[in-house]
Amino acid sequence: MSVIRIVRSAALLSAAALALSACGSDSAITPAGGSTPSSSSESALSGTLSGSGASSQDSAMQAWIAGFTAANPDAAVQYSPDGSGAGRKALLAGGVQFAGSDAHLKDEEVGASIEACGPDGALHIPAYISPIAIAFNLDGVDELNLDAETVAGIFRGDISTWNDPAIAGQNEGTELPDTPITVVHRSDESGTTENFTEYLAAAAPAVWTSEASGEWPAELDGQENAQGTSGVVSAAGATDGAVTYADASAVEGMGTVAVKVGEEYVPYSSEAAAKAVEASTPVTGEGRPEADMAMDLVRDTTESGAYPVVLVSYHIYCTTYPDADTVDLVKAFGSYVVSEEGQAAAADAAGNAELSGPLREKAEAALATISVTK
């Protein structure tokens, strides 16, 4: 598996919002700007911050929690990796103080976030960037070259054996068995699913006729499914001939696909993910705060060396909270996550791509806008 390390993205992110009504927290005090103290003896933070959401960033989250609480022993962070959709719903319902999500808020969710968080709604902060691997379990085969149409045909069930001419024709010299293909998809609403189906819909629209969504198309019944990133990887790893899609940090030991971009096949890597992110455009629209950071990715790019099956996972916070203690705790944790130290800790634990310096600076400036409800 590729080691995913650096992202050089300098793309301007702008974006979506999510919500939380009354965000409860114990008292928390941080230095000005919400930065994390350099040692635990300097920290006056206390209280508990609760989050829920994307399972893709769970390994990174555990590293962030460990590093943050080591520096702030009287503070605690809880995170439940229930999936991006569940995290957004929990935030909107006031059940958590932040959400992890592999997809930015849709317009209808922006409206809900304004209702829950106040007139400026919610704020997306990019925290975790990673390719989505198309991973398979096929004895003796470690990598395959596939174009978007073939990938879409496999996941729709139109291509049903591994020695199908559409696969064999792009992989001359590779011995492919007639093993049946078993598709394993996410059973829960998932930002990984949304990013993956966005790629299929944009890069192979004639084959992938379903809309991009965080929920797997209902018409594709009869396929295998499992809960969360670990669930699909475990199920695919235990089934000969299986194929799935998952955060690239989770698929070690499985075969992976190099996707066709332009005239070349591009395997996933940090550099390839960076190129795809660099080509992104800001998300704009009514109700999205000026400092919000979210992006639309160009899934059908033909740029050499870009890997377009990529996700940007956000931490979504309210732009306002009811009390200063909660604001201080949110800012301190958010600042640690996007810091050079926090990103390095996550990369060591999960193999994700680290945020670039310019992206970290934009994230710090966005976090600084979070304030107490007036």
pLDDT confidence bin for 175, thresholds 50/70/90: very high
What are the tokens at 322?
């009811």
pLDDT confidence bin for 11, thresholds 50/70/90: very low
What are the tokens at 336?
């640690």
Q: Give the mean model confidence (pLDDT) for residues 93-106.
A: 93
310-318 vs 122-136, strand pairing mode: antiparallel
Q: Give the mean model confidence (pLDDT) for residues 87-104.
A: 94
Q: Give the mean model confidence (pLDDT) for residues 115-130.
A: 92
The residues facing 261 across adjacent strands are 264
Task: Evaluate whether 90 touches 284 at the Cβ level (below 8 Å).
Answer: no
- Predicted local confidence at residue 23, as pLDDT: 36
Question: Most confidently modeled of 92-106, 110-124, 197-211, 344-358?
Answer: 197-211
Q: Give the mean model confidence (pLDDT) for residues 120-137.
A: 94
pLDDT confidence bin for 139, thresholds 50/70/90: very high
Higher pLDDT, 288 or 6: 288
Percent of the chain at pLDDT exceeding 70: 89
Residue 12 has pLDDT above 70, yes or no: no
pLDDT confidence bin for 276, thresholds 50/70/90: confident
Query: How many other β-carbons are positioned within 10 Å of the β-carbon of residue 249?
Result: 27
User: Residues 6 or more apart from 153 whose CB is under 8 A from it?
Assistant: 159, 166, 207
CA distances from 307 to 60, 131, 247 (A): 22, 7, 13
Per-residue pLDDT reduced to its tens digit, 29-56: 333 333 444 444 577 899 999 999 999 9
pLDDT confidence bin for 299, thresholds 50/70/90: very high
Query: Measured between alpha carbons, how far is 69 from 114 in angstroms, rounded to an integer?
Result: 31
Query: Measured between alpha carbons, how far is 13 from 290 in angstroms, rounded to an integer?
Result: 10
3-state secondary structure of 307: coil
Per-residue pLDDT reduced to its tens digit, 350-369: 888 888 888 899 999 999 99
Weakest mean pLDDT among 127-136, 201-210, 261-270, 280-289? 280-289
Residue 107 has pLDDT above 50, yes or no: yes
List the one residue out of 12, 6, 10, 8 whose CA is nearest residue 293.
12
Residue 343: its H or E element: helix 340-350
Percent of the chain at pLDDT exceeding 90: 73
The 8-class DSSP code of residue 41 comes to: G
Question: Most confidently modeled of 146-155, 212-221, 348-357?
Answer: 146-155
Weakest mean pLDDT among 65-69, 107-111, 321-325? 107-111
Per-residue pLDDT reduced to its tens digit, 240-255: 999 999 999 899 999 9
